[in-house]
Amino acid sequence: MSSETPTYSSWASQRYNELIAWNVKGPRLPIAQRLKHFTWSWFTCTMATGGVGMILASLPYRFTGLNTIGKVVFIFQVVLLAIFCSAMAFRFIRYPETFKKSIYHHLEKLFIGTFLLSMSTFIDMLAAYGYPSTGEWMVYLIRIFYWMYFAVSFVYAIFAFATTFHMHPYTLETASPAWILPIFPAMISGAVAGTVAFTQPPHQLKNLVVCGIMFQGLGFWVYIMLFAVNMLKLFTKGMMGASERPGLFMFVGPPAYTGLALIGMGKTAMDSKISMFSATPVSSEHLAFMCTFMALFMWGLAAWCYCVAMVCFAAGFMSRAPIQFKLGWFAFIFPVVGFVNVTMKIGEMIDSAAFKIFGHVIGAMLAIQWMFVMFFMVRAVLLQEIMYPGRDEDVKTPPGATPPPTLVTSPLSFASLQDVKDGHPIQVTVSRTRDRSKQHMSQGSDEEKI
């Protein structure tokens, strides 16, 4: 073999160098300066940790000590939430301009949803681990937290999409699974309702079930639209880079959590014997049947998305493209948590050992993945790969994206822009310059056409 031909070991070591090397990237910066780049995306860690705790609470086949492990994970999540919230508060106080930028930034504002999702798992684990060991006050606390979460997540969904439509005209090339994040917290309202419903008295259950189903439907239908856009991008532009492919697991979450929410609310309504529809005395049993049917209907889509995402990630991992850790890798965990839980819940509802065992297997794999991602996160912080200028979600322009085009605002009439030159319509394009004044005419541009 020629000395110029790279061997398998040489390009393999180069490919994984970003994951296995321990070289510090860039000059050392003080922690106060690095915290300026502590973005909302850090809460992907806490939402994933809470998801692991929820899996431990939902396992049908249990052993002595499992509840203790789950409580330890719950406490660990609370500690992480306290640390991360303190870091965000320090960032906004020390660098006041970063607060407004974070809620309007074209990329970082999408990850505000991960903070709300962390709160949703906190409420879930309050019901799973706190409620059985406390008094009646926990019932009221869970209810207050739920309705606060319900309202804030809806307001955030409106704000995030409205500002995106108004300020950031994305293109198909910049389509990303992260676009789903703003609607995710509102959608999870249904899953949270299904989880905490058993803690509430019968006269409160109907409100939880009705609002939970409405918001679960809202989130699922918005997901369908964004899923179609991302599928179109994959069909026409191809797969994203290897480091970004864990984001594909975001598509697993909405159908999985929709099935989980429906089963949770339907089963609780059936067990409590509440009358969902006044004309039908056994309406709660009918609701439970329909919810189980729809959960099975959703499960197929979630399973397909999970398998496609896993195959695409494995292909990227085995390719020659360099791989670098990103906080978006926690998409490995939280969306798949819904898939694991709905699989086990379906197994309970239809009395299927196969579904239960399959859920346990995926859950064990997920716990291992969570530990690996946590390790790479700590490593990335130590090596300054994240939380460093230009390497986080607060960058001015994300890698591979182009700045939004500037629209023509001159008093020219629309008809004057459609004049014909040499038999072809004239098309006006606007290029961004330092003084924002340069305009040029073209006939075949791929830029903004008017």
CATH number of the domain that residue 43 is part of: 1.50.10.150
Q: Which of 327, 347, 382 is the last residue of a domain?
A: 382
101 with 248, same domain: the answer is yes
The backbone torsions φ and ψ at residue 69, rounded to the nearest 5 degrees and listed phi first, read -60, -45
Residue 132 has what pLDDT?
86
The pTM (predicted TM-score) of the whole model is 0.81
The backbone torsions φ and ψ at residue 169, rounded to the nearest 5 degrees and listed phi first, read -75, 90
Residue 63 has what pLDDT?
84
Two structure tokens written together for 327: 């906080």
**CA 42 – CA 380 distance, rounded (Å):** 12
Q: Are 150 and 189 in contact (CB under 8 A)?
A: yes
410 with 372, same domain: the answer is no
448 with 312, same domain: the answer is no
Half-sphere CA count of 217, side-chain side, radius 13 A? 8
Among 61, 45, 55, 209, which residue's Cα sits nearest to residue 129?
55
Q: Which of 348, 382, 416 is the last residue of a domain?
A: 382
Cβ-in-10-Å burial (0-12, 13-18, 19+) of 93 comes to exposed
- The H or E element spanning position 83 is helix 66-94
**CA 211 – CA 249 distance, rounded (Å):** 27
339 with 418, same domain: the answer is no
Residue 106 has what pLDDT?
82
Four-point Cα dihedral 70, 72, 78, 84, nearest 10: -110
- Is the C-alpha dihedral spanning 359, 365, 371, 375 positive or negative? negative
Two structure tokens written together for 424: 């072809």
What's the number of domains the chain is made of? 2
Two structure tokens written together for 248: 């594909």
3-state SS, residue 190: helix
Write the DSSP symbol of residue 204: H
Q: Are 184 and 251 in contact (CB under 8 A)?
A: no
420 with 301, same domain: the answer is no
Write the DSSP symbol of residue 329: G
Residue range 82-122, pLDDT digits in tens: 999 999 999 999 999 989 888 888 888 889 999 999 999 99
Residue 18 has what pLDDT?
64
Give the domain extent around 266: 19-382
**CA 362 – CA 359 distance, rounded (Å):** 5
164 with 292, same domain: the answer is yes
Q: Residues of the chain whose pLDDT is less than 70? A: 1-19, 168-169, 274-282, 394, 396-450
Q: Are 126 and 138 in contact (CB under 8 A)?
A: yes
Q: Are 185 and 116 in contact (CB under 8 A)?
A: yes
Two structure tokens written together for 253: 């979450």
Residue keyed to tokens 């640390």: 83
326 with 442, same domain: the answer is no
